[in-house]
Amino acid sequence: MKLQPLKGIAPDHLPRTLRILLENALRHGTAADALREWKPGATGELEVYPSRVFLHDTNGVPVLVDLAAMRDAMVARGKEPRLVDPVIPAELVVDHSVIADVYGRPDALRVNVDREYERNAERYRFLRWGQQTFERLKVVPPGSGIMHQINLEHLARVVEERDGWVFPDLCLGTDSHTTMVNGLGVLGWGIGGIEAEAAMLGQSVSMILPPVVGVRLSGALEAGTTATDLVLTITETLRAHGVVGKLVEFTGPALAGLAVPDRATIANMSPEFGSTAAYFPIDDRSLDYLRFTNRPAEKVALVESYAREQGLWHDPSADLLYDEYVDIDLSAVVPTIAGPRRPNQRVPLSTAKQAVEGELPPGPRTTDSPGHGAVVVAAITSCTNTSNPAVMVAAGLVAKNAVERGLVSKPWVKTTLSPGSRVVMDYLGAAGLTPHLEKLGFHLTGFGCMTCIGASGELAVDAKDLTVAAVLSGNRNFEGRIQPDVRLNYLASPPLVVAYAIAGRMDIDLLAEPLDGDVYLKDIWPQPAEIEAVLAQVLKPELFDHAYDDLFAGDNRWQTLDAPAGETFEWGDSTYLQQPNYFDVQPTDLTGARALLRLGDSVTTDHISPAGAIPRDSVAGRYLTGLGVTELNTYASRRGNHQVMVRGAFGNLRLRNQLVDTEGPVTRGPDGEPAPIYDAAMAYRAAGVPLVVVAGKEYGTGSSRDWAAKGPALLGVRAVLAQSFERIHRSNLVGLGILPLEFLPGEGDDLTGEEPIDIELHDDGLATARSAGRTYRLRIRLDTPREHDYYRHGGVLPYVLHRLSEGQPQ
């Protein structure tokens, strides 16, 4: 659809992200006034219809569980179960289930994958059922790679052809890092699994017109710096600027020098700097990447002609207008790490030693054995960096140079290599770098997220009494995420991960102290020309044919899974899959509510949603052992069982609840005594007391984890009172029938949560909360008419089920 003149500004000045959204609105016949009349500072409402929905197994299994339960609900209402079926393409990649149990040995991949299938057989059979039952659902089996790298290298259309239309590939996914494909010129972002289900069933995604931030990139990276250093600098800069809920659009003279893998590394970190998306325009670099990854010539030609015709092609001379502007000079970027608890805590490598020492308690330091500051996990992992051949080859060359100088990794370091694509191992192998990585312990442990999502397995040493560190080439380092016993977590480029594995400690100045003996980092760091020579030698389009041939077929284990058949799922007595019921939740009176928790600032979804291994002595662990289960597995593997997940909600060992004087999943029950959060919630429920959560700023920072909303909903939480919300989590709360209430500026700090809270909603979009003689004003964060509909029905699923059963158009 060709854009016509707008009421606000000329189309040639409209940000490209908004141009894509305008095309979407016009094609679907939704209200487009907010876009037609756009000018900087404009506001309004949007209804967005994705071209496809993208899922991974951790969120995908609960999505399919909900769809299966909706089919059951349709049958119970005397309706046809097939009415519940995706109406747009949906792709699910199994990439979050493999755990780094075994490492540092040649058979690590085989053993880890064998254990993956043993642990997840029930879930995988269920996914096979979904693959066979839902017409437009495709499943990428285990062992293929990480969803975002697969999307970038193979699945992304950039421009879609369907039903006689040609239109932008607008991809929404259940992982917040869906933004990685923004680096290829695809607009997409993360949504909650509940929103994804609704979108799959034909519902729009409702949102407020976001401000657009133009980020002007200039200069070029200096020798010795990497794309990882750049993205950590951008993350710090944009988080400080404030881009939560905004679209970031990159522009400026430096674009021409940034290849798509560099752009994708930046775009992947969009959730870390808080933006909805981080979009790079389509240009010659985009076409080069499509050819490089062996996309058909006719597809490349279509992308170019469509982008030029629709004004989506990058024209450096175009005068595009933005709501806000940020300037970043690439030449000012220096070698960097980020940590120890947030991706935006950037630390220049030159001052990293002092920063780390400031985090360490008195006591033994690392010498010939691990002490405080020891690196116990060194992981080359996550699609963020493993999608970037330059930094991966740099890691291989650092390993080669180190081995040739006689260096080895320290024995207490758990070293893992978990790429996001099979292509990575092919080009590392072709370059002859794999043996050197393996000599340092970086054997292939699996193709999946692994350490980056907390599937790091057991440590090589007992670190419970030490303040130790993990260093990884991932995107998230929230406390408690990587490994429960590791308090300090740092993000770094793949070559720096190798260096820290050799050093064995974080409290080292890598620029001034030797890694070991008389060998310094500068002695083994490759020159840019050396990296470029290797890339020119080994990177061939044929690699992508080999990696993605028959992507959806899977290996023999996948093909021979005994998957059930039928239009509805037979639930049985599985401890992995249980039939949920989210269809009877209704808004409740909030008089006399009690705070289940009183939390501070920057509480992440990793604090709320259970993750990692299920501790045997936890409420969820005791529940499973009481059923005779011996292999507890991870929370990620049991996301299809609400009975386990609700018992693990707010289960992070680093959770700081101000109602009690200890870390961990503890609160005060109706009797005022400390109790596990689940037990306290059930006691309040039995007493008929509505529950709320009181929190500070940036509540829900982190991954778009549905269980960060589902868990509280099943605990009985009916509202969250916070000073601000992260975008996806606020939407997820609404999707589960939980009311997000945002304190007006300057209010809420002194609401302790220790007294009953009376909440009253007003027609002007505000609410009042009264507690302990004080009155607080809050904004009702139901941001669109559709969200009001969701809340009135008790959430997205009851709303969609009602419309389907009544035969209303979707």
For 243-303, the DSSP string reads -TT-EEEEESGGGGG--HHHHHHHHHTHHHHT-SEEE--B-HHHHHHHHHTT--HHHHHHH
Distance separating alpha carbons of residues 156 and 544, to the nearest angstrom: 14
Angstrom distance (rounded) from CA 536 to CA 50? 37
Q: What is the pLDDT of residue 5?
A: 47
Question: If pLDDT is split at 50, 70 and 90, which confidence band does 9 have?
Answer: low
Helix, coil or strand: residue 598: strand
**Distance (Å, rounded) from C-alpha 547 to C-alpha 551?**
8
- Residues linked to residue 92 through DSSP beta bridges, in sequence order: 55, 139
- CB proximity list for 151: less than 8 A, separation 6 or greater: 54, 171, 173, 178, 180, 181
Amino acid 514 reads: P
Q: Which two tokens stand for residue 444?
A: 């292939």
Q: Give me the domains of the chain, ranges plus CATH numbers.
A: 49-207 (3.30.499.10), 213-333 (3.40.1060.10), 335-539 (3.30.499.10), 594-609+649-794 (3.20.19.10)
What digits encode the pLDDT tens for the residues 249-308?
Answer: 999 999 999 999 999 999 999 999 999 999 999 999 999 999 999 999 999 999 999 999
Summarize the confidence of residues 389-418 as an average pLDDT: 98
Two tokens, residue 318: 């175009």
Q: What is the pLDDT of residue 750?
A: 95
pLDDT of residue 584: 65
Taking the C-alpha atoms of residue 644 and residue 638, their distance in angstroms, rounded to an integer, is: 7
Question: By three-state DSSP, how is residue 559 classified?
Answer: helix
Residue with tokens 């794999």: 434
DSSP 3-state percent helix, strand, coil across the chain (nearest 5): 40, 20, 45
Cis peptide before 335 (omega within 30 of 0): no
pLDDT in the model for residue 338: 98
- The token pair that represents 158 in the structure block: 């950039």
pLDDT number for residue 12: 76
Mean pLDDT, range 100-129, rounded to an integer: 95
When pLDDT is averaged across residues 614-635 and rounded to a whole number, the result is 94
DSSP letter string, 769-794: EEETTEEEEEEE---SHHHHHHHHHT
- By the 8 A CB rule, do 478 and 604 touch? yes
CA-nearest of 441, 435, 457, 451 to 104 is: 441
**Crossing angle for the helix pair 785-793 and 796-805, to the nearest 10 degrees:** 90
CA distances from 273 to 179, 250, 442, 698, 741 (A): 12, 14, 30, 12, 23
**Euclidean distance between CA atoms 235 and 567, whole angstroms:** 46
Rg of the chain over all Cα atoms, to the nearest angstrom: 25
What is the dihedral angle through the alpha carbons of 407, 409, 410, 413, rounded to the nearest 10 degrees? 170
Q: Which of 151-155, 334-338, 494-498, 788-792 has the lowest mean pLDDT?
A: 788-792
With a cut of 70, say whether residue 7 has pLDDT above it: no
3-state secondary structure of 161: strand
What is the Cα–Cα distance from 578 to 574, expressed in whole angstroms? 7
**Contact indicator for 64, 157 with CB cutoff of 8 Å:** no
User: Is the distance from CB of 658 to CB of 599 less than 8 angstroms?
Assistant: yes
Predicted pLDDT of residue 613? 84
Mean pLDDT of 740-746: 97
What pLDDT shows up at residue 585? 63
3-state DSSP of 717-765: EEEEEECCECHHHHHHHHHCCCEEEEECCCCCCCCCCCCCEEEEECCCC
Least confident of 30-39, 130-139, 359-368, 565-574: 30-39
pLDDT band at 1 (very low <50, low <70, confident <90, very high): very low
Rounded Cα gap, residues 92 and 197, in angstroms: 13
Distances (CA, A) of 322 to 201, 251, 282, 325: 34, 11, 18, 7
Centroid of chain to Cα 577: 23
In this prediction, residue 33 has a pLDDT band, given cuts at 50, 70 and 90, of confident
Residues in the chain: 810
Q: Provide the mean pLDDT of the chain.
A: 94
- Would you say 778 and 721 are in contact if contact means Cβ atoms under 8 Å apart? yes
Q: Which residues lie closer than 8 Å to 327 by C-beta, 6 or more apart?
A: 215, 216, 218, 252
Tally the C-alpha atoms within 13 A of residue 707's C-alpha that lie toward its C-beta.
29
Among positive and negative, which fits the CA dihedral 344, 346, 352, 357? negative
Please tell me the distance from the alpha carbon of residue 362 to that of residue 372, in angstroms, as a whole number.
8
Determine the residue type at 761: L
> For residue 681, what pLDDT is reported?
98
Q: How confident is the model at residue 6 (pLDDT cuts 50, 70, 90)?
A: very low
Give me the sign of the Cα torsion angle 788, 791, 796, 797: negative
Count of C-beta atoms within a 10 Å radius of residue 589: 10
Using DSSP, state whether 25 is helix, strand or coil: helix
Q: What is the mean pLDDT of residues 199-227?
A: 95
> β-pairing, 171-173 with 52-56?
parallel
Strands in 330-466 per DSSP E: 336-338, 346-348, 375-381, 414-418
- Element housing 54 (H / E): strand 52-56
340 prior amide bond cis, ω within 30: yes
**β-sheet bridge partners, residue 336:** 348
The helix (run of H) or strand (run of E) holding residue 667 is strand 666-668
SS3 174: coil
Q: What is the DSSP letter of 152?
A: I
Rounded Cα–Cα distance for residues 373 and 87 (Å) = 52
C-alpha distances in angstroms, 285 versus 183, 304, 508?
10, 11, 39
Report which of 695, 604, 582 is spatially closest to residue 72, judged by C-alpha positions.
582
Please give the pLDDT value at position 284: 97
pLDDT digits (tens, 9 = 90+) for 569-610: 999 889 999 998 777 666 678 999 999 999 999 999 989 998
* Token pair for 156: 């992304």
Per DSSP bridges, beta strands 336-338 and 346-348 are: antiparallel
Question: According to the model, what pLDDT value does residue 586 have?
Answer: 66
Q: Is pLDDT above 80 for 467?
A: yes
Q: Would you state the structure tokens that stand for residue 126, as one six-digit string?
A: 């269920």
Burial of 770 (0-12, 13-18, 19+ CB in 10 A): middle
Cα three-residue angle 425-431-432, rounded to 5 degrees: 90
DSSP E strands, 125-211: 137-140, 159-162, 165-168, 171-173, 188-190, 205-208
- Bridge partners of residue 247, in order along the sequence: 212, 277
Q: Which of 338, 350, 377, 356 is nearest to 493 (CA)?
A: 338
Cα distance between residue 151 and residue 154, in whole Å: 6
d(CA 264, CA 273): 14
What is the average per-residue pLDDT within 785-809? 87
In angstroms, the CA 159 to CA 260 distance is 17
Question: How far apart (Å, rounded) are the C-alpha atoms in residues 456 and 449?
Answer: 10
